[in-house]
Structures are given as structure tokens and as C-alpha cells.
């Protein structure tokens, strides 16, 4: 693995956040290219445009806090400290990937970093976050668990049940809804009447809505909710309004047209969280265009290094295909496809 | 028989024809109006809001919704866009819809079709998008079909919709890309009827979907060596053409099942169980199952291939029973 | 079947409702006795104390409206017009029962009467009610669907999802929550923070709380919600506060102690909906104790007749065990337990 | 071995001992504090709020909660009080917990026990409370045990809790009333080890739970006629003692499977499939499956009995293979 490129520790924390958003953006653009080019074998869901939520929320978290993620998870994982090289290795199906090539884009996880995994099923990670939060609470650890999910997930039973579990047990959980306005092609307003916030409030959650394209606002709201949860003040819910730039998912074969209105798409992009923070920092005199270019260049080289690492890594050996199915195997278990 | 259609287009043609023919038929599923899915493209434009209904990401509720609509006189097609979407709806499938008519003492039956797209593995769809979950349905007694060719896809889709019981149509990803002749008329296939895809004398290979096509190719390959394979494609998994299976195995005296669902308590186990009872005296060799391993499907190609049911292993099994 | 005992049509409708509540009460007391005595083979869940909800709500419904019921369903079924004789026959496992002996207490249904069935799974009937309501709406029929469920069901994903389906499609549905304060032994306050009403409101439902021990209040609230739903004004939600007199379920073998507080139980019984209506009617000069005794006697004789009918009915023949599994059977389907 | 315990009390003793021994073990389920269920009576009083947690009627969420707690270092017992309660949680069981460790590339494993009470039919529990759903779990690769005697119940319960993978313990209602010797010490049974409940020479009967006891009784009955039945009780359904099965069938040359789960793709199918491959040359007669029919379980006694796996049918099957 390439030596992890830790951002210089004396960096202005806001510049670190810029860097992280830029890393996520470029990571996902790279993933799209690798997918369209056929090097990533399967579909990827990218969240370009949504970076401020992952970065703003994770800025409020410590290393022992836990997140669960979604099908659109790269940003969350990078924001929680995931190594892009090992993520790229996973996307390329290599043994050095986070999941040893067994998971792929929708299952990347690093339990040691508190990343309890992306998930292929909408809403499914939330109850796991509650379970982790329960352990923190009973062990009197001051950690918090944060499940990410989309607006579409607000209609999935297991997520709604999890809201109740969290309030019922007064768990240190902060639910983060990334409202990009759509589930695949379905506008949220067509499948959810009333409002997301009212729905969450109805479960007894302390709710707050925030501009998900503004990393400062996200971070501030996340800090409030996380602090409350950490102090035993109960679970919270953040609705972060955002926009996804890409189509729902990208795969090699499909040239799926984006059916969203062109004007809407342009409007979405006009709120770009990365430009916004850069502009703010420069306007505030804390940063310069030259320094920004320098950070951008570092990001490029980190990703190039990561891609090189991934490409040079081995794919898992077929004979190892059965490893990790169980903590403990037995004679005949896992059963092979032919009798032995 | 001159016109050729792609597999998924054949499904779409069946949906159009069924909805044209019977105004009580309607379809529900996720993102139908977005019109991005080839199996349903154009349906919303043609049939509108009352008959093509976008559902929220609430698989349990919309499955139960179909049950209630059927009780109230509707004939409903429910689409699951990925095979694993049946899991959040499992109670409403196996414990409600599958049981309700009997528990009602036959007061009503449920004309509901579950169209389960994306069944099976292929190309790194990984752990949660690669299942071939029909054994769960067979165990629960839900009628199920597994069409292999575009013509099967159309005629079995129409059969499912016409049936007054819940029927699941599993559409295997492995044949999405295939093309074949499909009659323009709405021909309805009978349930419970298998097809001998290729007659043979020495060994019966039971296989459906893409695995049936692979088995036919293997049969061609091995005929030069004097091994004559009969490829028996069930098409309808429940009801199953048990008499047809028996006839084939009694004729060849050897049986290999080639199936890409999990092994334990899978479809291959059922076929083996049937033959071990019914065809015992005709059998000349052990029954062999060549299946998917009981594994989570891995993402990376070399290990993905390793755990799936491969034609190489089928070949080895056929040679073994012929030895 | 004994000739159904139609209450005289010139009866004061409120006296009919008294009669119906009394019928439910005595039906369920009979069911308890038959169960404790071993004549009903399996457990029954009775709702003695909760009669006003079923009767008040069904008083707002017409014959073409639909209900779905619960594990505690006898009251709903009788209130919607179910025949006690055929219900008793079902409880005794007879071929003349509503479900031909195939269902038992937890599955009694009469589709022709709009009774879409009791259900053994908490919350599971609600989406079916939504599906029926959708058919009414698309066929431009002015019918309404009413799912009944308990307070404990408010934590079940499929019910929560159904709330959303109903508001999303603006369905003619009125959700009726029978809040008896407990799920088995678990007080609702321990597993649901916030409030039931706020939770339902968060899904965009028009909500109302009502004293579920007051049949007049229930009926009035139900009429409001049903009228609104019938007119296309959207789905509603009624929370009916009630109390269950019996233990959660009654079976022959178990002598399960009621762990609820004795004072609480007495308080619950003091709110008895049947006594209350009788007292009101008599106080209002619309009825007399003599007339009441007369109605009570009629109820007894109807139930005795029903029980006699049930007892004299045949059990299903083993050879018919496989009938009704499918609309259409095939060779080998349903598969028997031995090969044939 | 002198002390006798009732079956459900043996489960309770295992729960107590496991929780005493390891403070990371905790238990979740519905109505645990109400203390009305014999398998958990007294647990709440003994271990309190942090280790005995009442759950809302949210089977999907609390199953996922257990997964998350296990990832965070807990060892969790999840109770389902009726076997069909697994259905609303099915995605969290077969598509999440069963798959997560592999999808993680082995970063963590999940020490979770699913205690599934009330498995099987009996006494009019009707359509939604009579399932014996272990074949679903076996197909999904979830380790599963099916203890027959009180001693098995205790030692397999302890084994399940000790295992670092999800293990389902199916407690069949049919043996709740039985009593038997149970060691006081926390003896842990090995997974994957069957027991020969009664040795015999002519025919192997595979049966677990109440059906194992019925098979033993039948063996006693038929021994006078010179029919020697070996009753082979798997105890552990996954892992399965395949070598033990093979040895028994190779010895007797005849196999009847007596199992009260649904027939198609059920446990009996798997056993038949194994034997038809592994023991083919030793077999002297067709393999017979005596199972529950693929039916919704009816309420009324005569028809309920008709669709279940009965010892009369077992007897007929044994006589048939001996003929
Ligand atoms: C339970 C479930 N249902 C359906 C799907 C298919 N699916 C994958 S992503 C997606 C849309 C999710 O929308 P949202 O939660 O808003 O997240 P977004 O994609 O917008 O980030 C759907 C329907 C799934 N993976 N899981
Ligand atoms: C999905 C599901 N979970 C659990 C059960 C077991 N169970 C049967 S009734 C019941 C309590 C239901 O409480 P509530 O909804 O308040 O109705 P009540 O019994 O009070 O009428 C439970 C937990 C079940 N039948 N279905
Ligand atoms: Mg979205
Ligand atoms: Mg209640």
C-alpha cells in the first residue's frame, strides 16, 4: 500500500475539509471513468455534488465513532478516513482492497475506522448503527453512531423501525438523510407526502434541516446533534438538501440518459459545495488560488498513486474464494458447488 | 417465427399485450414512470397513472398492497428490480400471499405476478445483487417459472399473469442479451411443462436459463466423444413436470443437475430427491449436483467464477457419471 | 346454519350498537370458556373491553367498505356483520366455519362482507387495506378501507410503510389504532417515545384521538374520518384509547397470570363501554332495564344457537385437506408429504 | 446425569450459564421483561436492563441491531418467539447478517444466536404459527441446530452462543413437554455432529426433534418383525455430519427421511441429494422422503394431521423400502 498521504497537521482544518471534498469528487470521477472504460467491472453509484454532507458530518466525529453507509458510499468512507488506494483496489477487485475483493463498491468497509459498511439494500445499515450505539451506551463509552441514507430510504420499514429503536433506547445516534430529491428517477415529493423532517420528528427524534451543499452549515448542525447524542441527550436527525450530479448509477454498458430537467441540473451544480468553500476561504483571505491549485495537485497525485497501487495488486486466488464465509469452517461447510 | 426479439423486449411485449387485453391488469414497481427499465419502457406512457404505479422503496408494503388489490378484484403485476428486493417483502410473500387463499378456505384466490428481474450472478454484482432465490419460493409453495429463451419469457410471463394464483417469474440476467424468435400473438405457455432442449441417450442434464444454453453447448461438444446428453429444461419450477423428468431419467439412467442457486436445500436437491425415489431402478450412476456453492457471491471475477456453477464442472460431472 | 338473527330493523340504532357490543363481549367470553375447557383446540386472543372501537368504527362503514383485522379480531368481524355461528364453527374447526376449518381464530374472514381477514402477523393487514382502497379509487367507487391494529403494531415497518402508501396515493383509508396500552406484557410507553398520534401525523395522515371506551365518540370520529376519506379528502388515523380485560391470549394449558397492576385493571374495567352506553340510553329515557335484559337474552340465545350449530357441524375430511391451496392445482401440486 | 430437566428449562439454564460466564453476552427479544416466557423467566431479574432488552415489534430492526452490536463487540442472543417472526426480518437475516462477514473480507465475524421458539406444528396453531422454517436458513448458509432432547437443547444452545458466527437454534414445539437428564455443568456440544439415537441394520431413518422420538418408537415396534431401523438424528443441520450420514446409509443400504418441514427444496431433499450421490452404490432401494406436504398448515385437527409428517407414513415408507 502506498504510504498514506496524511494532510499536514498544521493545515487549516477548513482547508483539510476542502481537500477531503476534492478528494471525494476526484475519486468518484475517477471511478466513473474506470467504470465507463470497463476497468471497474460493475456499476458504481457516485455522489458527486454531495461531498459536503459526508465531510461536514464526519468532521463532527472522532475515530471511535461509527458510521453506516449506503449504495452511494465512497464519500462517507473517505470522509471517515478511508484510504483511497485500498478503496480503488477494492473497486478493481484486488486482494489488497478493503474487503479483499470480496465486496466491491457497495460493501466497502473498514471496521477499525468505524466504517461499518456501505450496503446494497436501502435503509439496511441503520439498525446496525443502533446496535453499535447500544454497545457504546452500555459500556459507558462516549461514542456516537451515524447512519447515512437517502431521501428514498425514508419509506423503508427497517429505517423507520430504527428511528423508534433509537428514541426508545435513547441511543447516541444521529441519522443523516442525504436528500438529493430523487430515488433513482422518482422525485421524493411523489412518494412522500408531508415532509421528511415531520416524519422523523414523529418518532421523537430531534430534527434539523440544513443546506447540504454548505459544508460549514452541515458541520455546525452535525456538531450540535453529535454533541447532544454523545452527552446522552438523545438521538438526532439531520436532513441535508443536496443534489447528485451524475445519473443514479454508472456502468460500462449503459448509456442511461439523465432524465432530470436540464435547468434543474444546472441549478444543482451552481450550488457546488467545493467551489463554495474555496470561494469563501479565498474571499476571507485565508487561502489563495495558488494554494488551492497545490492542494488539487496533491489530490491528483494521491489518487494516481492509489490507482497505481490498485492496478499493481493481485486479484484474489480462486482457491481462496471460500475464505471468510465463516469465522469457523467445518467439514463440508461452506458447501462447494460439487460434492467432495 | 421469423421475428426475433431480445429477451427483455419479449417480457415487455408480454406486459403490453396482457395490459391491452385485460383492463383489470395493472403493474406496480419502483421507478416505473422514469421509464428507464427496458422491460417496462413505454408502459407508463401507454397506460397512465391508474395502471402503472410508481411505488416507494417499501417492498413489504407494496407486496401486501398487491394482495389487497387482488382480493378487491385486481390482477396485479409486481416488479422487483433486483432479486434480493424480495427479502424485505418476505413475510408478505411467503407468509401472507402464499397462505392467504388457503387460510380463507378458498373464498378468493390471488391473481398476482411477481416479476423478479436480475436473478442470478454475473459481472461483479456482488453479495447482495446476485442471488437466484427461487428455492425460497419453491419451498414456500409459490408457483415459479424460469424462462430460458425470449419466446419462453413472453409465453411464461403471459401464463403467470393469466394464472389466478401468485406466480413468480424469475428473469435470469445471464440471458438478457440473447435474441430469438418470438411469436407476435400472445401465446400462453402451460405451467408445469418442461422442454427437452436437446434429446440425448446417455445422461440427463437438468438446467434452466443460461445454464440450459451452456448445457446444450456442452452436449454438442461431447457428442463427438460418443457421450449423448439430454438437456432437460424445467421452465416451470413449480409446478414441475415430474413425469417429464422421470421419463428422461428412466431413459438415460444418469442424472446431473446443473443449477445456479445455492446448493443446500436448493433446486438441485429437489430434483435429486425426486429421481432418487422415482427413478432408482433405472439409475446406473450416482446423481450429481453441479450448483453454486453455498457462498455469498464475491465481487472479484476469479473468485466469483469459482463459486458459481460452471460448465467445466458440469463437464467433469458428466464424464464422471459416464465413467 | 341457523337463520341469522337480524336485529329488528326498527330498533334504535344505538340499541343495535349496544346489542352488537354485548354480542361481541359474550361471544368472546364464550370463546374463552370453550378454550379453557379444551373444546377450542388452540389459543384465542380476545378483546373484551375493546368492543366500542369495532362497533363504533363499523357503524361508520357500509357493506362495501373493507376492513382488515388482527390476531384479536373477533370483535371487528362481528361488528362488520360476521355471523357468530360461522365464527364459532371456525373456532371449533368445522367445515361450516368461515374458513372451512382451515383458518381458525387468527384468520377468520368473509371477503363478501368486506372482512379481508384477521391476521397472525402484527401490522400485516394494513398494506392489503391500501391495495383494496386503491382499487376503489381507480374504479371510482366510493368505498373506504379500514385496517385495525394495536399500539404495539406502531413499531412494525410494514404498517409504517403503509401509512406512507396511503398518503402518497391519497387513498380512502382510515387507520384505526386500538391502543390498549400493551403489546403482550410490554407497556407502549416503554417501546414508543413521543406519541402515537405525532408519529402518524408525521406521515401526513389526518389524525384524531378518541376515547375508545365510548362508542358514541368512536363512531363520531370514525364518521368524520370515513367521510373525508370517501370524498377523496385523504387518509385518516384514529387512535382509540382502550383497555383489554383478559390476558394477552388464552389457551387450554396455560394459566398465565395477568401481570398488570390490579388497580389499573380495575380502572380499566370501570370504563366499560357496554355499561356506559346502557347507562346513557336509560338515563336519556330511550331505553329500560327490562328492554336491556330482553336484548341480552336474545344475544344469549343467538350464541347458544350458534354454538349448537357449530357443534353439530362436521370437521373437514382429511381427503379434503389439500383443497383451496391453489386456484388451480397441477399434477404433483400441492406436493404431498410422500411421493405419489 | 441424575438430574432431569424439562426441554424449555434446559434452554433457560443454558441462557443463564452463558450470561453468567461472559459479560459480553446479552439477549434481546419481545416481552422479555414481562417474564412470562419459560425459556427466559428470571433472566431480566438476574441481569437487568443492560443485558435483557425488551424490543419493540420491529423484527427487522432488532435483527439488524444485533448485527451492529456484534460488530461493536457484543455477543448477542436474539429471540423470535414464534418461528414465523423471522419473515419480517428476512433481509436482515439472509441478506445482511449471513453475508456481512464475507462481504467485509473477514474484517469481523458475528457472534449472534437466533433462538427461534415454537418451530413446527401442533394443536391448531394454524397457518402462520406452525412453520418449521429451517430450510430457508440452510439454503442461506446460516448455521442451524435442531435439538431433540433437553440435554441437546442445553448443549447446543451453549454451542450456538459460543460460536463466532450466526447460529439459529430451532426449538421444536413438539418436544417442549419432554423431560430428560441434563448435566448441571455448561457442557458445549460440537456443531456438525449427529447422534445415532438407535442403532439398526436394515434402514436408516433420518429424523430430528419430535420426529426422532417417533422414529425410535417405530423402531421398537418393528424390531419384532425383524426390521432393524437405525435412527440418525442430525442435531446440527448446518454444519451437517455428512460423514456420519454416509456411514449409516452405507451400512444399512436404505434411507427414509422423516422431516416436518415443507417438502420441496426442504431438508429431506438435501439429505436425499447427498445420499444419492455419495451412497449410490450401497443403496438397495429408492430413497424415500416422508415430509410435511407443501401446504399451509390448516387449523382443524383432521386436516392438520393429514398434511404433517406422520409416523404412520414413516412406517409405510420403511415397509416399502424393506419389501
Ligand atoms: C430495499 C431496497 N429497495 C430497492 C433498492 C434499489 N435501489 C437502489 S438505490 C435506490 C434509490 C435510493 O434512493 P435514495 O435513498 O434517495 O438514495 P440515492 O440513490 O438518492 O442516494 C433504489 C430504489 C435497493 N437497493 N434496496
Ligand atoms: C410481526 C409480529 N411480531 C410479533 C408477533 C407476536 N405477537 C402477537 S400479538 C403481539 C402483541 C401485539 O400488540 P398490539 O399490536 O398492541 O395488539 P394487542 O395484542 O394489544 O391487541 C405480539 C408481539 C406477531 N404475531 N407478529
Ligand atoms: Mg435520493
Ligand atoms: Mg396493544
How confident is the prediction for chain C on average, in pLDDT? 95
Number of domains in chain B: 2
Same domain, B104 and B217: no
Cis amide bond preceding B239, omega within 30: yes
> Which residues of chain C lie closer than 8 angstroms to D305, CB-CB?
318
Ligand 3 center to A283 CA (angstroms): 32
With CB atoms and an 8 Å threshold, state whether C110 touches B107.
Answer: yes
- Ligand 2 binding pocket mutation candidate from D30, D57, D88 (most atoms within 8 A of CB): D57
Instruction: Tell me which of B295, B298, B311, B313 to substitute to probe the interface with A (most A C-beta atoms closer than 10 Å).
Output: B298
Same domain, B175 and B254: no
Instruction: Name the A residues in 209-248 with CB < 8 Å from any B CB.
Output: none
Same domain, B44 and B131: yes
**Residue A228: in which H helix or E strand, if any?**
helix A215-230
With CB atoms and an 8 Å threshold, state whether B277 touches C339.
Answer: yes
Beta strand B143-145 with B167-172: parallel, antiparallel or unpaired? parallel
Does the Cβ of A74 fall within 6 Å of ligand 1? no
> Which residues of chain D lie closer than 8 angstroms to C99, CB-CB?
299
Q: CA B115 to CA B153: how far, in whole Å?
A: 11
Of D64, D105, D238, the CB nearest to A128: D64
Residue C7 has pLDDT above 60, yes or no: no
Q: Is the dihedral of CA A245, A249, A252, A258 positive or negative?
A: negative
With CB atoms and an 8 Å threshold, state whether C130 touches B68.
Answer: yes
> Which residues of chain C lie closer than 8 angstroms to B96, CB-CB?
119, 121, 124, 128
Residues of B known to be catalytic: 129
The pLDDT of residue C2 is 58
Here the ipTM equals: 0.98
- pLDDT bracket for residue C1 (50, 70, 90): low
> Nearest residue CA, atom 25 of ligand 2?
C121
The pLDDT of residue B123 is 86
> Which residues of chain A lie closer than 8 angstroms to C193, CB-CB?
164, 167-168, 203-204
Q: What CATH number is given to the structural domain containing D260?
A: 3.40.50.920
End-of-domain residue from the set B154, B182, B210: B182
The pLDDT of residue A6 is 58
Nearest chain A CA: its distance from B58 CA (Å):
5
pLDDT in tens, D68-127: 999 999 999 999 999 999 999 999 999 999 999 999 999 999 999 999 999 999 889 999
Same domain, B157 and B211: no
Of D84, D125, D298, the CB nearest to C101: D298
Same domain, D35 and D173: yes
Using DSSP, state whether A89 is helix, strand or coil. helix
End-to-end Cα distance, chain B: 41
Of C156, C168, C193, the CB nearest to A192: C168
Q: Does D261 reach chain C within 8 Å, measured CB to CB?
A: no
How confident is the prediction for chain A on average, in pLDDT? 95
Same domain, B88 and B29: yes
With CB atoms and an 8 Å threshold, state whether D107 touches A99.
Answer: yes
Q: Per residue in B183-216, is it b (16+ CB within 10 Å) or e — as a string? A: eeebebbebbbbbebbebebbbbbbbbbbbbbbb
Q: Does B4 reach chain A within 8 Å, measured CB to CB?
A: no
- Ligand 1 binding pocket mutation candidate from B33, B57, B90 (most atoms within 8 A of CB): B57
Instruction: Name the D residues in 194-213 with CB < 8 Å from any C CB.
Output: none
- Ligand 1 binding pocket mutation candidate from A44, A49, A153, A184 (most atoms within 8 A of CB): A184
Return the CATH number of A13-318, one of 3.40.50.970, 3.30.1490.20, 3.40.50.1820, 3.40.50.720. Answer: 3.40.50.970
Residue D173 has pLDDT above 80, yes or no: yes
The pLDDT of residue C257 is 77
Same domain, B109 and B230: no
The pLDDT of residue C3 is 57
Nearest to D62 by CA among A149, B85, A131, C120: A131
- Give the list of residues 6+ apart from residue D166 with CB closer than 8 angstroms, or none: D93, D97, D98, D110, D112, D113, D114, D142, D143
Q: At what angle do helices B267-278 and D267-278 cross, to 10 degrees?
A: 60
- Give the list of residues 6+ apart from residue C71 with CB closer than 8 angstroms, or none: C45, C106, C118, C119, C120, C122, C249
The pLDDT of residue B36 is 84
> Which residues of chain C lie closer than 8 angstroms to D56, CB-CB?
152, 155, 183, 186, 191-192
How confident is the prediction for chain D on average, in pLDDT? 97
Residue C4 has pLDDT above 80, yes or no: no
Residue D291 has pLDDT above 80, yes or no: yes
- pLDDT bracket for residue C340 (50, 70, 90): confident
The pLDDT of residue D36 is 84
Residue A255 has pLDDT above 80, yes or no: no
Q: CA A178 to CA A215: how far, in whole Å?
A: 13
**Residue at D188 is within a domain:** no
Nearest chain D CA: its distance from C249 CA (Å):
12
Q: CA D258 to CA D146: how far, in whole Å?
A: 14
* D202 φ/ψ angles, rounded to the nearest 5 degrees: -100, -35
pLDDT in tens, A141-182: 999 999 999 999 999 999 999 999 999 999 999 999 999 999
**Residue at B189 is within a domain:** no
Atom of ligand 2 nearest to the CA of C248: 19
- Give the list of residues 6+ apart from residue C333 with CB closer than 8 angstroms, or none: B143, B192, B238, B239, B240, C326, D294
Residue D214 has pLDDT above 80, yes or no: yes
- Give the list of residues 6+ apart from residue B104 with CB closer than 8 angstroms, or none: C99, C102, C103, C107, C109, C111, C117, C324
Closest residue of chain A to D51, computed from CA coordinates: A138
Same domain, B241 and B316: yes
Expressed in percent and rounded to 5, the helix, strand and coil fractions of chain C are 45, 10, 45
**Residue at D190 is within a domain:** no
Known active-site residue D129 = yes
DSSP readout, D41-103? TTHHHHH-TTTEEE--S-HHHHHHHHHHHHHTT-EEEEEESSGGGGTTTHIIIIIIITTHHHH
Ligand 3 center to B281 CA (angstroms): 59
> Nearest residue CA, atom 20 of ligand 1?
A183
End-of-domain residue from the set D182, D213, D241: D182
Residue C5 has pLDDT above 60, yes or no: no
Residue B4, strand partner residues: B181
Q: CA A278 to CA A285: how far, in whole Å?
A: 11
Asked whether the beta carbons of A286 and A14 are under 8 A apart, the reply is yes
**Residue at D34 is within a domain:** yes
The pLDDT of residue D183 is 97
The pLDDT of residue C10 is 73
Ligand 2 center to C122 CA (angstroms): 5
Q: Per residue in C173-188, is it b (16+ CB within 10 Å) or e — as a string? A: bbbbbbbbbbbbbbeb
Same domain, D237 and D148: no
With CB atoms and an 8 Å threshold, state whether D300 touches C185.
Answer: no
Does the Cβ of A210 fall within 6 Å of ligand 1? no
Ligand 3 center to A182 CA (angstroms): 4
Q: What CATH number is given to the structural domain containing D115?
A: 3.40.50.970
> Which residues of chain D lie closer than 8 angstroms to A110, CB-CB?
107
> Which residues of chain D lie closer than 8 angstroms to A69, CB-CB?
none
Weakly modelled stretches of chain B, pLDDT under 70: 1
Ligand 1 center to C1 CA (angstroms): 53
The pLDDT of residue C258 is 84
Same domain, D299 and D156: no
End-of-domain residue from the set D158, D182, D206: D182
For cell 458447501, the residue is A335
**C101 in the Ramachandran plot: left (φ > 0), alpha (ψ -120 to 50) or beta?**
left
The pLDDT of residue A287 is 95
Ligand 2: lining residues by beta carbon, under 6 Å? C 71-72, 120-122, 149-153, 156, 180, 182-184, 248; D 30, 57, 59, 82, 85, 88
**What torsion, rounded to 10 degrees, do the Cα atoms B306, B307, B312, B316 define?**
120
Q: How many CA atoms lie within 13 A of A49 on its CB side?
A: 23
Does the Cβ of B85 fall within 6 Å of ligand 1? yes
Nearest chain D CA: its distance from C335 CA (Å):
5
Of C185, C334, C338, the CB nearest to D36: C185
Q: Is the dihedral of CA D267, D273, D278, D282 positive or negative?
A: positive
Q: How many cross-chain Cβ pairs, B to D, lie less than 8 Å apart? A: 148
Range of the domain at B127: 3-182
Q: CA A271 to CA B51: how far, in whole Å?
A: 38
Same domain, B242 and B308: yes
The pLDDT of residue A2 is 58
Same domain, D160 and D234: no
Q: What percentage of chain C carries pLDDT values higher than 70?
A: 96
Beta strand B179-181 with B4-6: parallel, antiparallel or unpaired? antiparallel
Q: CA B295 to CA A121: how far, in whole Å?
A: 18
Q: At what angle do helices C13-36 and C289-312 cross, to 10 degrees?
A: 40
Ligand 4 center to C181 CA (angstroms): 5
Amino acid at each position: 500500500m502506498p504510504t498514506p498521504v496524511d494532510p499536514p497537521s498544521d493545515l487549516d482544518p477548513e482547508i483539510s475539509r476542502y481537500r477531503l471534498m476534492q478528494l471525494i469528487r476526484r475519486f468518484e470521477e475517477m471511478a466513473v471513468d474506470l467504470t465507463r472504460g470497463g476497468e471497474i467491472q460493475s456499476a458504481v453509484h457516485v455522489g458527486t455534488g454531495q461531498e459536503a454532507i459526508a465531510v461536514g458530518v464526519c468532521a463532527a466525529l472522532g475515530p471511535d465513532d461509527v458510521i453506516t453507509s449506503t449504495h452511494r458510499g465512497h464519500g462517507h468512507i473517505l470522509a471517515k478516513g478511508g484510504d483511497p488506494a485500498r478503496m480503488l483496489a477494492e473497486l478493481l477487485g484486488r486482494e489488497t482492497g478493503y474487503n479483499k475483493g470480496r465486496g466491491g463498491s457497495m460493501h466497502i468497509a473498514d471496521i477499525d475506522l468505524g466504517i461499518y459498511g456501505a450496503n446494497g439494500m436501502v435503509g439496511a445499515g441503520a439498525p446496525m448503527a443502533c446496535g453499535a450505539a447500544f454497545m457504546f451506551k452500555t459500556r459507558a463509552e462516549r461514542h456516537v453512531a451515524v447512519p447515512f441514507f437517502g431521501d428514498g430510504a425514508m419509506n423503508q420499514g427497517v429505517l423507520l423501525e430504527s428511528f423508534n429503536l433509537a428514541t426508545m433506547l435513547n441511543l447516541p445516534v444521529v441519522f443523516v438523510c442525504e436528500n438529493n430529491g430523487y430515488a433513482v428517477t422518482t422525485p421524493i415529493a411523489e412518494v412522500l407526502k408531508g415532509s421528511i423532517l415531520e416524519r422523523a420528528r414523529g418518532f421523537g427524534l430531534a430534527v434539523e434541516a440544513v443546506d447540504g451543499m454548505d459544508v460549514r452549515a452541515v458541520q455546525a448542525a452535525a456538531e450540535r446533534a453529535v454533541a447532544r447524542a454523545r452527552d446522552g441527550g438523545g438521538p438526532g436527525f439531520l436532513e441535508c438538501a443536496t443534489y447528485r450530479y451524475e445519473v443514479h448509477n454508472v456502468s460500462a454498458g449503459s448509456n442511461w440518459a439523465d432524465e432530470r430537467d436540464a435547468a434543474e441540473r444546472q441549478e444543482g451544480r451552481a450550488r457546488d459545495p467545493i467551489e463554495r468553500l474555496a470561494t469563501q476561504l479565498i474571499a476571507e483571505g485565508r487561502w489563495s488560488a495558488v494554494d488551492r491549485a497545490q492542494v488539487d495537485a496533491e489530490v491528483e497525485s494521491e489518487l494516481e498513486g492509489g490507482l497505481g497501487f490498485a492496478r499493481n495488486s493481485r486479484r484474489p486466488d480462486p482457491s481462496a474464494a471460500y475464505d471468510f464465509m465463516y469465522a469457523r469452517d467445518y467439514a463440508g461447510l461452506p458447501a462447494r458447488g460439487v460434492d467432495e | 417465427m421469423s421475428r426475433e426479439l431480445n429477451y427483455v423486449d419479449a417480457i415487455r411485449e408480454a406486459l403490453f399485450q396482457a395490459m391491452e387485453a385485460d383492463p383489470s391488469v395493472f403493474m406496480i414497481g419502483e421507478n416505473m414512470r422514469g421509464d428507464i427499465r427496458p422491460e417496462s419502457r413505454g408502459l407508463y406512457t401507454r397506460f397512465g397513472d391508474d395502471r402503472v404505479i410508481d411505488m416507494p422503496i417499501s417492498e413489504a408494503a407494496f407486496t401486501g398492497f398487491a394482495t389487497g388489490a387482488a382480493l378487491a378484484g385486481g390482477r396485479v403485476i409486481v416488479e422487483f428490480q433486483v432479486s434480493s428486493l424480495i427479502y424485505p417483502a418476505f413475510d408478505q410473500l411467503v407468509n401472507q400471499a402464499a397462505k392467504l387463499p388457503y387460510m380463507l378456505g378458498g373464498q378468493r384466490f390471488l391473481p398476482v405476478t411477481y416479476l423478479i428481474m436480475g436473478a442470478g450472478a454475473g459481472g461483479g454484482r456482488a453479495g447482495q445483487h446476485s442471488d437466484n432465490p427461487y428455492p425460497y419460493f419453491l419451498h414456500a409453495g409459490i408457483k415459479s417459472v424460469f424462462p430460458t429463451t425470449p419466446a419462453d419469457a413472453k409465453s411464461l410471463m403471459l401464463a403467470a399473469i393469466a394464472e389466478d394464483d401468485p406466480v413468480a417469474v424469475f428473469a435470469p440476467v445471464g440471458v438478457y442479451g440473447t435474441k430469438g424468435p418470438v411469436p407476435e400473438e400472445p401465446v400462453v405457455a402451460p405451467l408445469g411443462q418442461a422442454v427437452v432442449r436437446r434429446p440425448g441417450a446417455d445422461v440427463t442434464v437438468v438446467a434452466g436459463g443460461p445454464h440450459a444454453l451452456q448445457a446444450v453447448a456442452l452436449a454438442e461438444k461431447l457428442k463427438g466423444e460418443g457421450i449423448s446428453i439430454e438437456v432437460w429444461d424445467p421452465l416451470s419450477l413449480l409446478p414441475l413436470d415430474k413425469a417429464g423428468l422421470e421419463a428422461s431419467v428412466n431413459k438415460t439412467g444418469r442424472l446431473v443437475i446443473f443449477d445456479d442457486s445455492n446448493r443446500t436445500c436448493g433446486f438441485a436437491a429437489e430434483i435429486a430427491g425426486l429421481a432418487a425415489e422415482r427413478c432408482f431402478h433405472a439409475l446406473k450412476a450416482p446423481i450429481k449436483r453441479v450448483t453454486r456453492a453455498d457462498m455469498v457471491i464475491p465481487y472479484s471475477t476469479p473468485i466469483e467464477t469459482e463459486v458459481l456453477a460452471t460448465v467445466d464442472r458440469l463437464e467433469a460431472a458428466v464424464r464422471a457419471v459416464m465413467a
